[in-house]
Chains A and B, each alone.
Chain A
């Protein structure tokens, strides 16, 4: 799929070089006028300068290239670029100060009901919404640097916002200071690769009703609430990093009503809760690293048939927490650094099962303030007693094959 799209973009470039006219726009001239003049398949090159055009509409197949980042300024009033034609490429612009409206979701770049559009290597600063895909198909959004300095959820829009779109490729972008870094609603069969979503106000990535999507090699760090993946099926999450998401409602990743999906080879470090799962089923969570999180996995009783295996749990305050006593998920073959068992037959697997749910995690679940007693010698005594004779923690929540050494991840 990715390859197809590359070919398409290359094709566009090829056509332009072949038999199209190149229009030049210099500082003081109008880009919109050049678009009017040009015919489908042409290229427009824009020289450095600041262009305040109160909204530019691209309604024919064009390639717009900025030379040394000409500035397109929306003066905080207008949507800056609106693309309604297929096969449009926007590259090398600095697009700043889009309009803000509580009624309309004004964006720096809007792709509206268009296919095969490429938005590449642009710098977006201080916009309401960054790149907005609406009924877009086969769009490529790559290598953009998208920043804003929003302070509240209401005042800021999303960095890359996609709605009712499919076959999008979003890669190598840096997004910061928006409401959600990347927002997907009803977006299917798309890939999100190698992006960095950092310090956004709400979620680094926000995903709803978006099935069969893949996201890999992304880094989500210090976002207000981490990453939320909700109401979706068949999502693949590989090789991502979820770092430093702190707060009572902040998660490395929030999985709500997700099914038949996979999360593997990810790294979760220093999050309040690395994974929070609710109403999710048939997930495979394997080969991930959970390091120094408050909670490794908070799995609510509404989750079933999930497999959590072959992960490393290292230096987390709590490895597992849950709110019920029903256990419908499996936790086998993980490495838990808190495991204190032995391996007499030297097969690398502990001979006695490990119970990752500590008594104190349960106490804290019921009474938040008890957290102040964490690591108290008194609590230590209680936990030891509970480990020897489990009475309160669910009997079935255990790893029967705990690894003696960390898995090579």
Chain B
């Protein structure tokens, strides 16, 4: 599997998209910190951008790359290699490349310009989102034969998790305004990896406001380490589940 990671990573790094992505992220994070004299505000803007861009780029990049490496996969599938290892190899190659881009584009600038725990949090959350959406994109690509459908599906997933889901939650919230919803809210957030990431960041940025929420569950969630633990756990599930399902399907896919 190491060799497959190696070759797909080499192939991706030859690709200019990942370089462009790195430069874009670096440009955004550096300019935000240089133009904004209030680092807290810069972090906030960077958070907004990461919540939008990181999942989007991970989704699209991974789906397109998987379709484009159909040749590579076809070539290797006829070789004595376990199919699951082949997909794992390509997947790990993709997330390695994306994480390197993230490290150079966000991690390094943050480390130099604003070395604080919020920065570390932001970086880790971006990494988690990258892996989650790479997994989802891999699943979309494995499930659909048609390139346009696959890209469409992963874009739809991104759009759903970014906008539609929160809109629905807001709607539910106002429909059921008379009921105590704290358990339900935490439960619903777990169904959306972007929400989980965002709430993980709220734990850093807005903890004083979050402590104003009534409800014992919120107090426990935000006040103790329980929230962070739960978020980590749920994110791990979001990373693992789609890729495991994708590998399962890929094992039985006709190529």
Contacts and interface: CB of A to CB of B under 8 A. Distances in A.
Given A367-B177, A378-B163, A315 B212 contact: no
A247 interface: yes
B208 A317 contact: yes
A293 B223 CA distance: 16
A190 B17 CA distance: 70
A8 to B, nearest CB: 44
A372 interface: yes
B22 interface: no
Contacts of A379: 166, 170
Given A372-B189, A378-B167, A248 B219 contact: yes
A100 to B, nearest CB: 29
B166 A375 contact: no
A295 B209 CA distance: 7
A380 interface: yes
Given A295-B209, A371-B209, A375-B201, A315 B40 contact: yes
Given A294-B206, A337-B41, A372-B186, A377 B163 contact: yes
Contact of B208 (A294, A370, A371): A294
Interface residues of B, number: 41
Interface in B192-246: 195, 198-199, 201-202, 205-215, 219, 223
Given A248-B219, A292-B40, A371-B213, A378 B166 contact: yes
B52 interface: yes
A294 B212 contact: yes
A246 B209 CA distance: 8
A380 to B, nearest CB: 7
A367 B208 contact: no
Nearest to B186: A372
A375 B47 contact: yes
Contacts of A271: 208
B11 interface: no
Nearest to A244: B208
Contacts of B219: 247-248
Contact of B206 (A248, A366, A368, A374): A374
A376 interface: yes
Contacts of A270: 208
A315 B47 CA distance: 14
B206 A247 contact: no
Nearest to B206: A317
Contacts of A378: 162-163, 166-167, 170
A108 to B, nearest CB: 33
Contacts of A368: 213-215
Interface string B60-80: 000000000000000000000
B193 to A, nearest CB: 13
B148 interface: no
B90 to A, nearest CB: 30
A272 interface: yes
Given A366-B177, A370-B170, A375 B48 contact: yes
Contacts of B124: none
A249 B121 CA distance: 28
B173 interface: yes
A27 interface: no
A67 interface: no
Contact of B211 (A246, A318, A375): A246
A119 B181 CA distance: 52
A295 B166 contact: no
Contacts of A294: 206, 208-212
Given A271-B208, A371-B210, A377 B202 contact: no
Given A248-B212, A372-B189, A375-B198, A367 B174 contact: yes
Contacts of A377: 48, 51-52, 162-163, 166
A124 interface: no
A314 B44 CA distance: 13
B169 interface: yes
A248 B211 contact: yes
A349 interface: no
B185 interface: yes
Contacts of B38: 314-315, 337
Nearest to A382: B170
A317 B202 CA distance: 10
Interface string A273-307: 10000000000000000001111000000000000
7 contacts: A246-B211, A272-B212, A368-B215, A370-B170, A375-B202, A376-B195, A379-B170
Given A247-B211, A271-B208, A378-B170, 11 more contacts: A247-B212, A295-B209, A314-B40, A317-B208, A367-B174, A368-B214, A371-B213, A375-B206, A378-B162, A378-B163, A380-B48
